[in-house]
Protein backbone atom coordinates (compact mmCIF):
# COMPACT_ATOMS: atom_id res chain seq x y z
CA UNK A 1 0.00 0.00 0.00
CA UNK A 2 1.29 3.43 -0.97
CA UNK A 3 0.04 6.62 0.73
CA UNK A 4 0.57 10.13 -0.65
CA UNK A 5 -0.68 13.52 0.55
CA UNK A 6 -2.26 16.19 -1.65
CA UNK A 7 -3.05 19.05 0.80
CA UNK A 8 -5.46 19.67 3.71
CA UNK A 9 -7.22 16.27 4.03
CA UNK A 10 -6.71 15.01 0.50
CA UNK A 11 -4.94 11.65 0.54
CA UNK A 12 -4.39 8.93 -2.03
CA UNK A 13 -4.01 5.27 -1.15
CA UNK A 14 -2.93 2.89 -3.87
CA UNK A 15 -2.94 -0.88 -3.55
CA UNK A 16 -2.12 -2.69 -6.76
CA UNK A 17 -4.41 -1.22 -9.42
CA UNK A 18 -6.87 0.08 -6.82
CA UNK A 19 -6.81 3.83 -6.07
CA UNK A 20 -8.76 5.33 -3.15
CA UNK A 21 -9.06 9.09 -2.61
CA UNK A 22 -9.99 10.73 0.69
CA UNK A 23 -11.55 14.22 0.75
CA UNK A 24 -10.37 15.49 -2.66
CA UNK A 25 -10.16 19.25 -3.01
CA UNK A 26 -12.72 20.93 -5.27
CA UNK A 27 -11.78 23.45 -7.96
CA UNK A 28 -13.93 25.92 -5.99
CA UNK A 29 -11.73 25.64 -2.90
CA UNK A 30 -9.04 28.19 -2.07
CA UNK A 31 -6.66 25.24 -1.62
CA UNK A 32 -4.81 23.57 -4.44
CA UNK A 33 -4.77 19.82 -4.89
CA UNK A 34 -3.70 17.19 -7.39
CA UNK A 35 -5.69 15.48 -10.15
CA UNK A 36 -5.73 11.73 -10.71
CA UNK A 37 -8.21 8.95 -11.42
CA UNK A 38 -9.63 7.06 -8.44
CA UNK A 39 -11.73 3.91 -8.11
CA UNK A 40 -13.28 4.89 -4.77
CA UNK A 41 -13.77 8.37 -3.26
CA UNK A 42 -14.56 8.92 0.40
CA UNK A 43 -15.97 12.33 1.36
CA UNK A 44 -16.32 13.01 5.06
CA UNK A 45 -17.84 16.51 5.02
CA UNK A 46 -19.80 18.50 2.46
CA UNK A 47 -17.38 21.37 1.85
CA UNK A 48 -15.58 22.53 -1.28
CA UNK A 49 -12.35 21.71 0.55
CA UNK A 50 -13.31 18.02 0.68
CA UNK A 51 -15.86 17.19 -2.06
CA UNK A 52 -13.90 17.64 -5.29
CA UNK A 53 -15.09 14.53 -7.11
CA UNK A 54 -14.07 16.13 -10.41
CA UNK A 55 -10.44 16.14 -9.21
CA UNK A 56 -10.34 12.35 -9.10
CA UNK A 57 -12.51 11.58 -12.12
CA UNK A 58 -11.38 11.02 -15.67
CA UNK A 59 -12.86 10.10 -19.05
CA UNK A 60 -11.79 6.52 -18.50
CA UNK A 61 -12.63 6.22 -14.80
CA UNK A 62 -15.72 7.24 -12.87
CA UNK A 63 -15.15 6.61 -9.17
CA UNK A 64 -17.59 5.05 -6.75
CA UNK A 65 -18.42 7.92 -4.37
CA UNK A 66 -19.20 7.44 -0.67
CA UNK A 67 -20.29 10.58 1.16
CA UNK A 68 -22.03 9.50 4.34
CA UNK A 69 -22.54 6.89 7.05
CA UNK A 70 -23.26 3.28 6.20
CA UNK A 71 -21.61 -0.01 5.28
CA UNK A 72 -20.26 -0.55 1.80
CA UNK A 73 -18.41 -3.15 -0.23
CA UNK A 74 -16.69 -1.90 -3.37
CA UNK A 75 -14.44 -4.13 -5.44
CA UNK A 76 -13.65 -6.28 -2.42
CA UNK A 77 -12.95 -3.31 -0.11
CA UNK A 78 -15.16 -3.21 3.00
CA UNK A 79 -15.90 0.31 4.22
CA UNK A 80 -17.81 1.53 7.27
CA UNK A 81 -18.87 5.10 7.93
CA UNK A 82 -20.29 6.46 11.16
CA UNK A 83 -21.72 9.90 11.83
CA UNK A 84 -19.98 12.51 13.96
CA UNK A 85 -20.11 16.31 14.17
CA UNK A 86 -18.03 19.09 12.69
CA UNK A 87 -18.00 22.85 12.99
CA UNK A 88 -15.89 23.38 9.91
CA UNK A 89 -15.78 27.00 8.72
CA UNK A 90 -18.06 27.98 11.61
CA UNK A 91 -20.93 25.95 10.23
CA UNK A 92 -22.46 22.92 11.88
CA UNK A 93 -21.99 19.96 9.57
CA UNK A 94 -22.28 16.20 9.49
CA UNK A 95 -18.86 14.54 9.44
CA UNK A 96 -18.39 10.87 8.59
CA UNK A 97 -15.63 8.83 10.19
CA UNK A 98 -14.53 6.04 7.85
CA UNK A 99 -12.78 2.74 8.41
CA UNK A 100 -11.71 0.31 5.73
CA UNK A 101 -9.49 -2.71 5.33
CA UNK A 102 -6.78 -2.65 2.66
CA UNK A 103 -4.04 -5.25 2.22
CA UNK A 104 -4.91 -6.76 5.65
CA UNK A 105 -4.50 -3.35 7.33
CA UNK A 106 -7.27 -1.40 9.06
CA UNK A 107 -7.36 2.28 8.11
CA UNK A 108 -9.28 4.96 9.99
CA UNK A 109 -10.02 8.44 8.65
CA UNK A 110 -11.48 11.00 11.08
CA UNK A 111 -12.26 13.70 8.49
CA UNK A 112 -13.21 17.15 9.80
CA UNK A 113 -13.86 15.90 13.32
CA UNK A 114 -14.05 18.53 16.06
CA UNK A 115 -15.38 16.58 19.07
CA UNK A 116 -13.00 15.18 21.67
CA UNK A 117 -15.28 12.35 22.76
CA UNK A 118 -16.40 9.82 20.18
CA UNK A 119 -19.74 8.06 20.16
CA UNK A 120 -19.83 4.39 21.14
CA UNK A 121 -20.46 3.51 17.50
CA UNK A 122 -17.39 5.44 16.36
CA UNK A 123 -15.26 3.87 19.07
CA UNK A 124 -16.47 0.46 17.98
CA UNK A 125 -15.40 0.79 14.35
CA UNK A 126 -12.08 2.36 15.39
CA UNK A 127 -11.28 -0.33 17.96
CA UNK A 128 -8.60 -2.12 15.94
CA UNK A 129 -7.08 0.54 13.70
CA UNK A 130 -3.59 0.16 12.24
CA UNK A 131 -3.32 3.51 10.44
CA UNK A 132 -5.18 6.61 11.65
CA UNK A 133 -5.59 9.93 9.81
CA UNK A 134 -6.33 12.69 12.32
CA UNK A 135 -7.01 16.45 11.80
CA UNK A 136 -4.88 18.67 14.05
CA UNK A 137 -5.35 22.26 12.91
CA UNK A 138 -8.19 23.63 15.01
CA UNK A 139 -10.52 26.18 13.34
CA UNK A 140 -13.44 23.77 13.09
CA UNK A 141 -11.45 20.55 13.53
CA UNK A 142 -9.58 19.10 16.50
CA UNK A 143 -6.73 21.19 17.86
CA UNK A 144 -3.26 19.71 18.27
CA UNK A 145 -3.63 18.70 21.92
CA UNK A 146 -7.08 17.13 21.59
CA UNK A 147 -6.06 15.37 18.37
CA UNK A 148 -3.00 13.85 20.03
CA UNK A 149 -5.00 12.73 23.08
CA UNK A 150 -7.67 11.08 20.94
CA UNK A 151 -5.16 9.38 18.63
CA UNK A 152 -3.26 8.02 21.63
CA UNK A 153 -6.44 6.63 23.19
CA UNK A 154 -7.33 4.82 19.95
CA UNK A 155 -3.91 3.17 19.92
CA UNK A 156 -3.12 2.87 16.18
CA UNK A 157 0.20 1.55 14.94
CA UNK A 158 0.66 4.63 12.72
CA UNK A 159 -0.70 8.17 13.14
CA UNK A 160 -0.88 10.53 10.16
CA UNK A 161 -1.68 14.16 11.08
CA UNK A 162 -3.56 16.24 8.50
CA UNK A 163 -5.34 19.56 8.06
CA UNK A 164 -2.69 22.02 9.14
CA UNK A 165 -0.93 24.91 7.43
CA UNK A 166 -3.82 27.36 7.04
CA UNK A 167 -3.40 30.95 8.12
CA UNK A 168 -3.59 30.89 11.89
CA UNK A 169 -2.55 27.24 12.03
CA UNK A 170 1.16 27.74 11.43
CA UNK A 171 2.14 26.08 14.70
CA UNK A 172 -0.37 23.22 14.60
CA UNK A 173 2.05 20.58 13.36
CA UNK A 174 4.85 21.78 15.64
CA UNK A 175 2.54 21.62 18.65
CA UNK A 176 1.25 18.17 17.69
CA UNK A 177 4.78 16.79 17.39
CA UNK A 178 5.70 18.44 20.68
CA UNK A 179 2.79 16.63 22.32
CA UNK A 180 4.22 13.37 20.96
CA UNK A 181 7.69 14.11 22.33
CA UNK A 182 9.34 14.06 18.89
CA UNK A 183 9.65 17.45 17.20
CA UNK A 184 12.29 16.29 14.72
CA UNK A 185 10.20 14.06 12.47
CA UNK A 186 11.19 14.67 8.84
CA UNK A 187 8.45 14.91 6.19
CA UNK A 188 8.28 12.18 3.57
CA UNK A 189 6.91 12.24 0.01
CA UNK A 190 5.14 8.89 0.32
CA UNK A 191 4.74 5.94 2.65
CA UNK A 192 4.98 2.41 1.31
CA UNK A 193 3.74 0.02 3.97
CA UNK A 194 2.87 -3.66 4.38
CA UNK A 195 1.19 -5.48 7.25
CA UNK A 196 4.48 -6.97 8.44
CA UNK A 197 5.96 -3.46 8.77
CA UNK A 198 3.47 -2.68 11.56
CA UNK A 199 4.68 -5.34 13.98
CA UNK A 200 7.07 -3.10 15.94
CA UNK A 201 5.06 0.13 15.71
CA UNK A 202 2.76 1.79 18.22
CA UNK A 203 1.63 5.36 17.62
CA UNK A 204 4.48 6.15 15.22
CA UNK A 205 3.85 9.49 13.50
CA UNK A 206 4.46 10.09 9.81
CA UNK A 207 4.40 13.61 8.36
CA UNK A 208 3.98 14.11 4.63
CA UNK A 209 5.10 16.71 2.14
CA UNK A 210 2.03 17.75 0.17
CA UNK A 211 2.06 17.05 -3.57
CA UNK A 212 -0.08 19.63 -5.38
Q: Minimal CA–CA distance to 114: which of 146, 75, 160?
A: 146
Q: What is the mean pLDDT of each run of 10 residues along the chain (212 residues)?
A: 97 96 96 95 96 91 94 95 90 94 96 92 94 91 94 97 82 92 91 96 95 82
pLDDT of res. 101: 95
Q: Measured between alpha carbons, how far is 33 from 55 in angstroms, rounded to an integer?
A: 8
pLDDT of residue 183: 84
CA 129 to chain centre: 13
Q: For position 167, what pLDDT does the model report?
A: 66
pTM reported for the whole predicted model: 0.95
What's the pLDDT at 85? 86
Domains (ranges, CATH) in the chain? Answer: 2-205 (3.60.15.10)
> Can you state the angle between helices 144-154 and 172-180, rounded to 10 degrees?
40
Amino acid sequence: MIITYHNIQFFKIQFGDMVIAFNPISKDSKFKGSRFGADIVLISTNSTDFNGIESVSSKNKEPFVISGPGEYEVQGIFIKGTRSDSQYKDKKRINTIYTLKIDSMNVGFLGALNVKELSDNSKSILADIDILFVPIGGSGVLNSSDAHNLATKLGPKIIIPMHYGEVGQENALKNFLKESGDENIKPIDKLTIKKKDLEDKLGEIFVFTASV
